[in-house]
Amino acid sequence: MNNTENNVITKLFSRFLVRFFTHKKNALMMWLSVFIGALAGMTSAFFNNWIDDINDWRIKSLSAHIGSAIPLWWLVVPVSAIMVGFTFYITHKFAPEASGSGIPEIEGAMEGMRPVRWKRVLPVKFFGGLLALGSGMALGREGPSVQIGANIGRMISDLFKVSKIDGQALIAAGAAAGLAAAFNAPLAGIMFVIEEMRSQFKYSLTSTKSVFLSAVMATIVMRWLTNDQGAIISVTRYDHPDLGSLILFLLLGFFFGVVGVVFNKMILKTQDLFLFIHKNRRWRFVIVGLFLGALFGGLSMILPDLAFSGTQIIPQIQHGHYFTGALLFLFVFRILGTLLSFSSGAPGGIFAPTLALGTIFGMLFGLAVHWLLPGFVHFPGAFAIAGMGGLFAATVRAPITGVLLVIEMTSNYQMILPLIVTCLGATMVAQSLGGRPIYTQLLERTLKLSMRQKRDEAKRKAMFRLSTKEVKGKINK
């Protein structure tokens, strides 16, 4: 290609960019989307780095300061308890909608059913998420990143006074940016909005471009700040599996469909248990936080494989570093840890813990079929990779997002066909069993609780007015 051709291409590309970013209907939305993506990427990068710093300080720095004079857990356990207890207090007092992953809140906001109080949610979710995840709780970083990104989108739309439809698009753009930056997965961030939030997202060319631009910009900023250019999980990269083995991946997906439906029900039941314990008493909420902080603070020292998000053990599981008994132990107790952490209301996500659980179950399945068909199944770890997406697809009911998320996180592009088969099988079985997406169920539950609280508050006010009238009547007599 000569210089003349290069000049022509450069001029055409420059003209395209000028028209794209200066067209009256698109200019403001496009620039705001880029700005939101940059802010979300920067926030996510700081969030991830500071979680690691808190963990290092909580264990390594404390160990260096106390030496061998007293046992380390004498300090780590109470420090972790205080961290989570304080998180529960500020969440319950200032921004209850910041509890959990926050994704149902964003979906409700996009439908106009839930408020977006970004002035409260942004600081509470950021610092509360730091303390909860830094204590060792079995939570993911993606939930806070998605809610923070969406609230940044709402903040920018309020500051620039965009229309209601454009504001909804910017919330979606921020959510996509948050997920993309959390997992270094721009395609998964884009698809999550398009697939998971399909009933709330108002499709148009402008809104779709906003989501794309924001997710890409967030990934660029995150990679620039963290110098992280590759996959965030280092696993074996497999070649294309035999076509005959696809039936086994489909069978794995069927199993995940059943597990996903049961897992979603367990989440809702555990949330009901915590709701019964709390009974709108702030001090009970804080006591639960103190207990969970102490529990996971201790586990992070004694059995770290049962603490944290679980992404740290995925490479070891896939490489076959655990025996079958250890995998069963991990699967059972990580389910319990995930249920306790997520259902308690701590600000954190469930994506990463679900990916870890899927990896464990997939590896168990791979070892089983390898034992039954040793000449047919040579790499049990391939089923662990497929399992990452299988449980995600069954619980969230977003199979395409699950496929893209696993591929981008592990760089296993050759596994796309078995991943599609596994996620499809999981989604089909979950749907046939009457299972519903976990975030849809959580949103409905939140709306019901909100309506109940409003009715109770109205009754209390009515009773207060009635008692006031009675007192005044007696005084007048």
Q: What is the CATH number for 308? A: 1.10.3080.10
- Residue 325: which domain range? 243-439
pLDDT at site 23: 57
Question: Rounded to whole angstroms, how far apart are CA atoms 211 and 62?
Answer: 43
pLDDT of residue 182: 94
Assess whether 160 and 186 both reside in one domain.
Answer: yes
Which residues of the chain register pLDDT less than 50? none
Task: Determine, yes or no, domain membership for 464.
Answer: no
Residue 5 within any structural domain of the chain: no
Domain final position from 173, 201, 226: 226
- Tell me, yes or no, whether 213 and 273 share the same domain: no
Confidence at residue 349, expressed as pLDDT on a 0 to 100 scale: 94
pLDDT for the residue 56: 84
Residues 318 and 384 in one domain: yes
What per-residue string of b and e applies to 140-177 under the rule 16 or more CB within 10 Å gives b? bbbbbbbbbbbbbbbbbbeeeebeeebbbbbbbbbbbb
Q: In this structure, is residue 376 part of a structural domain? A: yes
What pLDDT does residue 476 have? 61
Same domain, 334 and 423: yes
Answer for the pair 101, 305: CB distance below 8 angstroms, yes or no: no
Q: Pick from 42, 222, 57, 235: which is nearest to 134 by CA?
A: 57
pLDDT value for 474: 59
* Tokens linked to 205: 């060319």
Domain tally, the chain: 2
What pLDDT digit, counting tens, does each position of 284-320 carry? 889 999 999 999 999 998 899 999 999 999 999 999 9
Residue 465 falls within a domain, yes or no? no
Q: What is the pLDDT of residue 197?
A: 87
Residues 406 and 364 in one domain: yes
Residue type at position 27 = A
On whether residue 364 sits in a domain, the answer given is yes
